[in-house]
Structure 1
Amino acid sequence: MKILVTGTAGFIGFSLANVLIERGDEVVGLDSINDYYSVDLKYDRLKEAGIPTQKIQENVLTQSEKHPNYRFVKMQLENRESLFNLFAQEKFDKVCNLAAQAGVRYSLSNPYAYIDSNIVGFINILEACRHHHIQHLAYASSSSVYGLNQEMPFSTHKSVDHPISLYAATKKSNEMMAHTYSHLFSLPTTGLRFFTVYGPWGRPDMALFLFTRAILENQPIDVFNHGDMIRDFTFIDDIVEGVKRVIDSPPTHNPLWDAKKADSSTSSAPYKIYNIGNNRPVKLMDFILEIEKNLGKEAQKNFLPLQEGDVPATCASVEDLQKDLGYQPSTTIAVGVRKFIDWYIRYYGVKL
């Protein structure tokens, strides 16, 4: 297949593109390479995939020097004309949209970045898919959409009408926008609610990265909600396996969908929503303990209240993904944290 993967300078997009390339798909990667976090890490991910930094130009495809079936373009999804030209030129079979302005806390102080990337950018993706007869659009949603919902484990069959951050609201909006296009234009769409993804090449704004760096630098770590947090940490390899299976399995019209009961995870349109998580939530303090074990150092802990826009616990029900696509996450926290620490030490040249 010929697949457009957006967000390929980012954590999940980079990891997914590598797997699709290895199995023989023709992949075009797209990313704006914004400065939400270190652009050096983003360029290094691209270099790892054979895209040399010095050859990257705005709105121009760059051929990978490692993989004949991979090209990359630096482009903003908000740039409608350039995006539409790319679709017309490349004639993709499928699209996986992982590009977005991420981060719950950042959305409190930079709201317009989320509207530009997550709303304007996403409508451009939908329009491009509609007009170029894309066979399937898979896209990133987020576990953040559950907001005030406290019924555990989080189920895609339940309401998500009370988001508590603008980031979450944009992701909920993406799901609603996608359903509209599935209904009106029979565009198959699948939304993926990711649960706390971690692993090698991860995001520097995420807890594992922040904690590891601070402990190594003998700096205190901020532990929110006084440590009383639970997260469904999901290793990157498990996430990518799930996304790959979703891309390969476009949803169809569900003849059993009942408008009077309105299950929000499916529809009479070719539309589907999945949770994609580990389904084995971990206490934050246990997660920190694994980091301390691997680094051989105890963290200095700065206990703080729960932050605005954050939730104390997440846990994914992944029964639908297991039943429909055989998804089975298998990486334990002990293994996943060790793999991240090993990568971190190599990447930054740390001596323990």
Structure 2
Amino acid sequence: MKILVTGSAGFIGFHVSLSLIKRGHEVVGVDNINMYYDPSLKFARLGELGITKEQASEHNTLCQSSTYGDRFKFIRLGIEEKNHLSVIFKTHKFDKVCHLAAQAGVRYSLENPDAYINSNLVGFSTILECCRHHDIKHLVYASSSSVYGLNKKVPFQEDDQVDHPISLYAATKKSNELMAHSYSHLFNIPTTGLRFFTVYGPWGRPDMALFLFTDAITKEQPIKVFNKGEMERDFTYIDDITEGVVKVMEKSEEERIKNNEYYKIYNIGNNKSEKLMDFIKEIEKHLGKKAITNMLPMQPGDVQKTWANIDLLIKDYGYHPSTTISDGVKSFTEWYKSYFKV
């Protein structure tokens, strides 16, 4: 297939692009490479896909991979740039779209709301309009476990009420699900939203806990532990996430139509909630260093516990995450030490 992957210089987008390429698909990646975190990491990810920093620095210019040839091309572009994006859809005639571009981060949304409105709402509407007018067979897009907000019932299930988001980031992700539903209903566009649960692993984002903790412990600096460590997360390793996304992307349209799947929402997680302090112990073990902990109260917009019920994804796609926390953290710390030459 020919697939558009938005956010292809991002953490999940990079891994999904690489997996699709290796499975024989042709991928066109789009990313604006913004300054939310150090863009050198984004350029390095693209380097792994065969796109140089010089190539990726040019705005709205199609670059071809030196490693994967025609199977990967890249364009630096913001998804809210409707006119440019429409041309890309018209030129490349994609079969499917994997939309992973978004302004991420719960805490950042408290200080920079405009970034979330532009990328997560305006940008998402642009993607929907392009899919509508260019005969896209399936749109798979990133939602988030954040939509569950103040939900007290665990594990979180797709049919739980998600009407009480506690951050603007979560509100935009819930909005994406509603917008997708309306386009599926009005224009028969098959859409699938994936609610990601705390993704971690090599090439991860520097604003995520594993990266922050590893960096601080390595440099013998204190780590910030919110809610005094009384936190639990459904940590999901990037290879397990990638496997799930690719399974959804590769499902045949005949089977999708047969099952009347025009609008679906799935949790995609590890199906297990881990204590934050146990997670920190694994980092300490693999770094061979003890953390200096700074115990702090709960942060605005944060939740105490997440836990994904993934029965639907298991039933429909045979999804089975298999990476333990110990193995996943080990892979990340090994990548971290190699990347930063520690």
TM-score normalised by the chain length of structure 2: 0.97
Structure 2 residue aligned with 1:258: none
Structure 2 residue aligned with 1:58: 59
Match of 2:77 among 67, 75, 78: 75
Structure 2 residue aligned with 1:236: 238
Match of 1:322 among 314, 331, 334: 314
Per-residue deviation, residues 31-76 of structure 1 (Å, max 9, x unmatched): 0000100100000000111001112211111000000210000000
Distance 1:179 1:252 in 2: 16
Distance 1:123 1:92 in 2: 18
Structure 2 residue aligned with 1:152: 154
Match of 1:282 among 274, 277, 280: 274
> Superposition pairs for residues 36-55 of structure 1, below 5 Å?
36-55=36-55
Runs of 4+ residues over 6 Å off in structure 1: none
Structure 1 SS opposite 2:68: coil
Counterpart amino acid of 2:68?
A: H
Structure 2 residue aligned with 1:171: 173
Counterpart amino acid of 1:64?
A: S
Q: Count how many residue pairs are aligned between Structure 1 and Structure 2.
A: 338
Distance 2:334 2:165 in 1: 36
Per-residue deviation, residues 279-336 of structure 1 (Å, max 9, x unmatched): 1111000000000001111000000011000000000000000011000000000000
CA root-mean-square deviation: 1.2
Per-residue deviation, residues 236-287 of structure 1 (Å, max 9, x unmatched): 00000000011122684798xxxxxxxxxxxx77100000000111100000
Distance 2:296 2:212 in 1: 15
> Superposition pairs for residues 15-164 of structure 1, below 5 Å?
15-56=15-56, 57-68=58-69, 69-164=71-166
User: Could you tell me how far 1:229 is from its partner in structure 2?
Assistant: 0.3
Counterpart amino acid of 2:269?
A: G
Pair 1:273 & 2:265 matched: yes
Per-residue deviation, residues 123-177 of structure 1 (Å, max 9, x unmatched): 0000000000100000000000000111000000111000000000000000000
Match of 1:225 among 227, 230, 236: 227
Per-residue deviation, residues 85-142 of structure 1 (Å, max 9, x unmatched): 0000000000000000000000000001000000000000000000001000000000
Pair 1:309 & 2:301 matched: yes
Counterpart amino acid of 2:141?
A: Y
Match of 1:181 among 180, 183, 197: 183
Q: Percent identity?
A: 62
Distance 1:141 1:45 in 2: 22
Distance 1:303 1:278 in 2: 27
Distance 1:225 1:113 in 2: 27
Check 1:269–1:341 CA distance in 2 against 1; reply closer, same or farther (3 A cut).
closer
Match of 2:336 among 344, 349, 352: 344
Distance 1:340 1:41 in 2: 15
Counterpart amino acid of 1:67?
A: Y
Contact 1:45-1:201 at 8 Å conserved across structures: yes
Counterpart amino acid of 1:246?
A: V
Distance 2:192 2:175 in 1: 14
Check 1:253–1:146 CA distance in 2 against 1; reply closer, same or farther (3 A cut).
farther
Contact 1:183-1:269 at 8 Å conserved across structures: no
Distance 2:141 2:117 in 1: 16
Contact 1:225-1:305 at 8 Å conserved across structures: yes
Counterpart amino acid of 1:342?
A: E
Distance 1:65 1:253 in 2: 38
Structure 2 residue aligned with 1:198: 200
